[in-house]
């Protein structure tokens, strides 16, 4: 009861703190108020349903409704065209007391230009004293649609046929470049949009008036009207200009007040958001309106402004989600200390808030069917990233702040009256160096155990010079050793040891399996077999260990990378009877092995699959982390990668075959803890697979950026958690847990992290191929493998090198784009850089593996390698 109250109190405090953070971030922004009537706005009555393909122009009633919204809020409206019903705007505006500046849209379509000109003149010459100006074209020269002389000809024609003031509208720099155009107009219609010039919002209003004064100085005798000025409330950044609701409010209020003080004529762009403009201006093009596309004001023009008006709803959702997640995890962990509860709660709250913040961004934006699919996929991937993050956080909490252990097993000392059951030791080999196997056999011969046999199963070795010396060694070592040479034998390793089961002595009660490179401690059987006195024990496991970790730096880092699993993961899983069985240093009750159906020849990780079946049958396991045997690690990067690929691919085979056992139902043959730890153990591999998806997506988006930087928006927010967030957490978690549980120095734990990162792409390939490509054959990890030269090594990691080059090119490319000289661009370069780190780690690890080759001048011989292993092992001891 006391623990429950502690957890509830902790959860409550964390949720309140999280809610306070939301409140602080969304603190109302106090801005200069605007309480007067706005002089003018640009007016386009198209609704958010409109697209350039469907051409759904508004009806007269809809135009009138929009003008009703603007009545008493603005003095005038400016239109860009007089076709498709827009010729009615001046008449309708006059009913609401609004002045109108009417415009003809001019582009490269000369026939349509003629229609625009004739209709413009027809409307202009109506008896409507609310029409105050006439505009011939909008940014025609900026778009380079027609030559300047042709535009001048249009202006001259309109001036001859109407008595109203006539001009065109261009950006301020176009006017400065074309004094001949200034000479033809009655006034200068200038667009001054600091956002598109990449000006920070703090300097934007000053920029507008600087450019206005620059035009006045250049053309002192010509009236100037700012025909477009404004700021978007959302969309991609433009250099130092950030589009946001608060920035738009800040800019407009400051500009409106200064323009009123200086009596400058202007038109704010625009009255209503126009989502269709995203197709031509990028995402920011949709958000220039004072009102949104539903004709609702985005914020008041008087008083405080909120960046996210509905933040309380999102914060409440995040709080509820985090409370549920914390409850699901924490109330099932009765042995967790208070600091662990707090740490897990903090991470959960932050992660849930990040997800809800991301969703809130998409919810505020205008979406198309395509962008909805995009956002759904991103949110799903973020939820997967959140799941991985929480499970890895729980691992930290359980390892660091676990208050007590209930299943810590130590090597046993048999009692004087202990009955020693017979053990059949199975040693599968394939094309192994005879000298290496001889050492394994000689160590087996020295086992301090009265009743055992050794079955050596040579599986499909073609060269008699390789397998016959092993046969001879077995004959030399005596009747306990039996040798079988299997020709054209199916089933790979599993097929060989299944054959060994058929040849096993009838009175053997325990099957032990070791790899061909392992040198055992004499007391292995004596200290571990007594655990089988408990009839419910199905298998007993000791850790894989290695004797060549001191040969070179590559192997040293690999050694500690392996050690993390056996000192952290296996120890924690053992607490919940959920260890992974691995095919060396393992013992299985023979009756249980036959009960569940022997070794599975369809799975290339037959050892892990058997362990799972034993759990499904209701058997328990024992894991003793003391080392009783040491083997050899892969000698090359190729071997290291092949071994890990096999483990991952095999795990995916197991998932597909046993997925029903992992369903959270009462019918599952596994306990809830076993289901959790098997899934949790595989999730980091799925994290690497997910990282590959994000990397490919990042590269595709970066390519799109280069093709069209103006119209491309960087989805930085959606990529932060799955890339930078997960990567940072993964590294910190690794270093933290290593320092807590693995007996290595800090630099060795850093090396272990480097080695693990080097396998990221290999793991990702293993996941995707394991899920979707059936029938991969068993991949043996070669021993005493000769390392090739640099080029051969680079070919092994060619995929990683290719992705590394693309990612670094992306970083330098984005850095060279002036449009992305902003926080968004820097964050995107950060995303690409983080995604490049695993591939860089692969390259560095490969170079470390090749270094011994160049130190010796050529590949080491088998004898030299073995001598170096022995010498190094002696020094380390």
The pLDDT tens digits of the residues spanning 631-645 come to: 999 989 999 999 999
- Whether 260 shows a pLDDT value over 90: the answer reads yes
pLDDT for position 876: 38
Domain shared by 724 and 794, yes or no? yes
In a domain, 292, yes or no: no
Residues 498-524 have a mean pLDDT of 96
- Between the CA atoms of 354, 357, 361 and 363, what dihedral angle is there, to the nearest 10 degrees? 120
In whole angstroms, give the CA distance from residue 571 to residue 677: 12
| Token pair recorded at residue 847 | 């170079």
The pLDDT tens digits of the residues spanning 89-98 come to: 999 999 999 9
Please provide the DSSP assignment of 346-400 as one string: HHHHHHHHHHHHHHHHHHHS---HHHHHHHHHHHHHHHHHHHHHHHHHHHHHHHH
Domain shared by 612 and 565, yes or no? no
Residues 763-788 have a mean pLDDT of 79
pLDDT, the chain, mean: 90
pLDDT for position 41: 98
pLDDT for position 1: 58
Domain shared by 605 and 693, yes or no? no
pLDDT for position 780: 64
Lowest mean pLDDT among 557-561, 590-594, 693-697, 815-819: 815-819
Domain limit, last residue, from 631, 650, 665: 631
Contact 373, 335 (CB under 8 A): no
Domain shared by 672 and 764, yes or no? yes
In a domain, 415, yes or no: no
- We report the CATH number of the domain holding residue 281 as 3.20.20.80
In a domain, 225, yes or no: yes
Q: How confident is the model at residue 873 (pLDDT cuts 50, 70, 90)?
A: very low
Domain shared by 511 and 621, yes or no? yes
| Token pair recorded at residue 57 | 């122009």
Domain shared by 139 and 13, yes or no? no
The pTM for the full model equals 0.83
Domain shared by 323 and 435, yes or no? no
In a domain, 167, yes or no: yes
pLDDT for position 772: 92
The pLDDT tens digits of the residues spanning 787-842 come to: 667 888 899 999 999 999 999 999 999 998 877 888 888 888 999 999 999 999 99
Q: Which residues contact 800 (CB under 8 A, 6 or more apart)?
A: 761, 838, 839, 842, 843
Domain shared by 464 and 611, yes or no? yes
- Whether 859 shows a pLDDT value over 50: the answer reads no
Residue 869 Rama label (left phi>0; alpha psi -120 to 50; beta): alpha
pLDDT for position 15: 81
Range of the structural domain that residue 510 is part of: 422-552+575-631
Domain shared by 611 and 565, yes or no? no
Structurally, how many domains does the chain consist of? Answer: 4
Domain shared by 429 and 357, yes or no? no
Most confident by average pLDDT, 156-170, 677-691, 850-864: 156-170
Residue that wins the pLDDT comparison between 783 and 455: 455
Domain shared by 780 and 661, yes or no? yes
pLDDT for position 684: 87
Q: How confident is the model at residue 334 (pLDDT cuts 50, 70, 90)?
A: low
Share of the chain above pLDDT 90, in %: 67
In a domain, 806, yes or no: yes
Residue that wins the pLDDT comparison between 72 and 683: 72
Residue that wins the pLDDT comparison between 403 and 602: 602
In a domain, 295, yes or no: no
pLDDT for position 858: 45
In whole angstroms, give the CA distance from residue 539 to residue 537: 6
In a domain, 17, yes or no: yes
Domain shared by 338 and 258, yes or no? no
In a domain, 299, yes or no: no
- Whether 610 shows a pLDDT value over 90: the answer reads yes
């Amino acid at each position: 009861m006391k623990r429950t109250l502690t957890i509830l109190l902790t959860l409550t405090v964390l949720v309140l703190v999280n809610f306070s953070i939301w409140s602080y971030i969304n603190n109302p922004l106090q801005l200069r108020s605007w309480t007067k009537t706005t002089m003018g706005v640009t007016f386009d009555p198209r609704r958010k349903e409109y697209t350039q393909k469907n051409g759904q122009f508004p009806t007269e009633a809809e135009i009138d409704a929009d003008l009703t919204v603007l009545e008493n809020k603005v003095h005038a409206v400016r239109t860009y065209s007089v076709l498709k019903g827009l010729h009615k705007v001046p008449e309708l505006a006059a009913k609401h007391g609004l002045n109108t500046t009417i415009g003809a849209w001019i582009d490269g379509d000369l026939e349509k230009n003629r229609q625009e000109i004739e209709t413009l003149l027809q409307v202009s010459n109506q008896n409507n004293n609310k029409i105050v100006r006439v505009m011939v074209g909008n940014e025609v020269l900026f778009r380079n649609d027609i030559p300047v002389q042709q535009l001048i000809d249009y202006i001259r024609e309109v001036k001859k046929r109407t008595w109203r003031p006539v001009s065109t509208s261009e950006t301020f720099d176009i006017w400065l470049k074309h004094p001949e155009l200034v000479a033809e107009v009655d006034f200068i219609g200038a667009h001054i949009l600091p956002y598109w010039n990449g000006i920070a919002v703090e300097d934007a209003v000053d920029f507008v008036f600087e450019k206005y004064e620059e035009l006045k100085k250049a053309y002192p005798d010509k009236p100037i009207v700012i025909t477009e000025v404004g700021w978007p409330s959302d969309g991609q950044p433009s250099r130092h200009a950030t589009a946001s609701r608060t920035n738009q409010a800040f800019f407009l209020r400051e500009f409106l007040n200064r323009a009123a003080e200086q009596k400058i004529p202007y038109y704010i762009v625009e009255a209503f958001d126009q989502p269709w403009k995203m197709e031509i201006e990028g995402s920011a093009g949709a958000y220039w309106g004072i009102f949104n596309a539903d004709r609702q004001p985005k914020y008041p023009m008087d008083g405080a402004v909120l960046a996210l008006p509905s933040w309380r709803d999102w914060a409440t959702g995040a709080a509820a989600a985090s409370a549920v997640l914390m409850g699901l995890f924490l109330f099932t962990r009765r042995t967790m200390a208070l600091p662990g509860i707090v740490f897990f709660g903090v991470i959960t709250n932050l992660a849930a808030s990040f997800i809800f913040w991301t969703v809130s961004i998409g919810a505020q934006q205008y979406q198309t069917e395509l962008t909805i699919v995009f956002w759904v996929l991103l949110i799903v991937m973020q939820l997967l990233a959140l799941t991985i993050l929480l499970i890895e956080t729980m691992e930290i909490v359980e390892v660091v702040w676990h208050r007590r252990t209930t299943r810590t097993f130590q090597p046993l000392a048999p009692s004087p009256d202990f009955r020693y059951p017979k053990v059949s030791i199975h040693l599968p080999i394939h094309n192994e160096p005879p000298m290496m196997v001889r050492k394994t056999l000689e160590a087996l011969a020295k086992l301090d155990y009265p009743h055992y046999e050794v079955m050596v199963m040579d599986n499909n070795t073609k060269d008699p010079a390789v397998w016959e010396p092993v046969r001879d060694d077995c004959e030399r070592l005596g009747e306990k050793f039996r040798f079988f040479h299997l020709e054209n034998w199916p089933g790979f390793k599993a097929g060989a040891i299944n054959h060994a089961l058929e040849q096993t002595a009838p009175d053997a009660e325990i099957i032990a399996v070791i790899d061909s490179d392992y040198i055992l401690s004499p007391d292995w059987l004596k200290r571990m077999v007594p655990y089988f006195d408990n009839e419910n024990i199905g298998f007993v496991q000791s850790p894989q260990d290695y004797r060549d970790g001191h040969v070179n730096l590559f192997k040293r880092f690999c050694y500690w990378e392996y050690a993390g699993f056996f000192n952290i993961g296996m120890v924690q899983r053992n607490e919940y009877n959920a260890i992974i069985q691995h095919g060396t240093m393992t013992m299985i009750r023979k009756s249980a092995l036959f009960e569940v159906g022997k070794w599975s020849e369809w799975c290339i990780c037959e050892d892990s699959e058997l362990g799972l079946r034993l759990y499904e049958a209701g058997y328990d396991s024992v894991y003793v982390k003391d080392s009783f045997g040491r083997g050899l690690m892969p000698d090359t990067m190729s071997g290291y990668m092949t071994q890990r690929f096999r483990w991952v691919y095999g795990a995916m085979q197991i998932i597909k075959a046993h997925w029903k056992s992992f369903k959270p139902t009462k019918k599952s043959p596994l306990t809830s803890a076993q289901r959790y730890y098997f899934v949790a153990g595989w999730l980091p591999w799925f994290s690497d697979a997910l990282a590959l998806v994000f990397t490919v997506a990042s590269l595709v988006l970066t390519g799109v950026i280069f093709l069209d930087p103006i119209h491309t928006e960087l989805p930085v927010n959606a990529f932060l958690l799955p890339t930078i967030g997960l990567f940072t957490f993964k590294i910190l978690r690794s270093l933290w847990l290593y320092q807590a549980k693995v007996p290595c120095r800090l630099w060795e734990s850093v090396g272990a992290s480097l080695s693990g990162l080097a396998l990221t792409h290999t793991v990702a390939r293993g996941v995707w191929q394991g899920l979707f490509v059936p029938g991969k054959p068993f991949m043996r990890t070669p021993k005493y493998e000769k390392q090739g030269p640099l080029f051969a090594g680079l070919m092994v990691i060619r995929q990683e090198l290719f992705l590394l080059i693309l990612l670094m090119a992306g970083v330098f490319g984005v850095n060279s784009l002036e449009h992305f000289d902003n926080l968004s661009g820097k964050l995107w370069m950060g995303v690409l850089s983080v995604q490049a780190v695993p591939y860089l780690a692969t390259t560095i690890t490969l170079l470390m593996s090749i270094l011994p080759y160049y130190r010796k001048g050529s590949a080491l011989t088998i004898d030299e390698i073995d001598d170096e292993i022995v010498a190094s092992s002696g020094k380390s001891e």
